[in-house]
Amino acid sequence: MHSIFWRTITAISCAIQLAASDSGQVLPDSEWKRLLADGGRLYEHGHFNEAERAMQQAVEYAEQFPPLDPRLPSTIHALGFLYQEQGKLAEAKACYVRAIHLWQKIGPAEHQALSKTLDNMIGIYMSAHEYEAAEKLARSRLREMEGASNWRDRAIFLNPRAALEFRLRRYQDAESSGRQSLDLWQEHFKGEERNYAIVLMNLSMVYEAAKRYQSALDAGTRAVAALEGSDPTLRPVLAWALDNAAHLLSKLDRLGESERLYSRALETAKDVFGPDHPTTGRIMLEYSSALRRLNRKAEAKATEAQARTILRSTKPIAAAVDTFELGLLGR
């Protein structure tokens, strides 16, 4: 199975900044602040596992704050973001569900923060193939996002709309929404390479579903080009983009080029996620298929066996949380 799924644009490009923001209260505990600073620095240098450990400790300190202190759900959200960036969907989902319940308890004062966590949750559902849950949540968000007044909110809003249209197989509508979003990100490209590339990858999925494979490849290779030489925080997205482009080259029977990009995707995934990560395993499995088509049978067999060993140990994502449980009635 191809490992690229529809991806949503997170409303906070670096959620660690949200966790570290001043909420108008007494300055936070010094250890909490130190861990946030460490997590942010490690994230910016692409050391995701180390950043994750720092944020896990930061959550433990935040749990000692007074009840309904917004620093706790913001720190949990930041940890969820790090999990999501690494493809750890079950862990990310657990964080977001917990953060959502806390934001709801705090009340309307944290509505904006709640909305951002909900937007990230849509991405978890889409990546986990939980399309019905993603659709429910996206529809609840679209009613609010349709009134967005600034360009960035409009660009973000167009992505879940395109996802819904894709889900309903309205590929022309999905393409139109995706291209509108892409135009906005391109106009404000500096610092938005991640979101620009994600929209391109999503558009490539639309084109592939419509059997427009060359258009899909063109969008996929543009995504790779946008991420090449970018800062370390974008290397997870680069791994996905390389994998996506390799898959599309394979569709077009350009096997030598496909194998080279799969090799790059695999090396990037090992470097970013680690050799035993499920994303690495999924890319490795696809790579084995490319090797088999190139008649490199022994290498393909060994690569497939290694990939299946990794994937057997993958922690499954829990069943979808219904939007009723998230308290979204009337939103």
Per-residue pLDDT of the chain (331 residues; tens, 9 = 90+): 455 567 766 544 344 544 554 444 444 578 898 999 999 899 888 888 899 999 999 999 999 999 899 999 999 999 999 998 888 888 999 999 999 999 999 998 888 889 889 888 888 887 787 878 888 887 887 777 777 678 887 888 888 788 888 888 999 999 999 999 999 999 988 888 989 999 999 999 999 999 999 999 999 999 999 999 778 888 989 999 999 999 999 999 999 999 999 999 999 999 988 899 888 999 999 999 999 999 999 999 999 999 999 998 866 655 555 554 555 533 4
Q: What is the pTM of this model?
A: 0.81
- CATH fold, domain 15-312, is 1.25.40
Work out the end-to-end distance of the chain between its first and last CA atoms, rounded to an integer number of angstroms: 36
| Alpha carbon distances (Å) from 83 to 90, 95, 109 | 9, 9, 26
Which alpha helices (H) appear in the chain, and where do they start and end? Answer: 15-20, 30-44, 48-62, 71-85, 89-106, 111-127, 131-145, 151-167, 171-187, 193-209, 213-227, 235-251, 255-272, 278-293, 297-312
Report the pLDDT value the prediction gives residue 4, as an integer from 0 to 100: 54
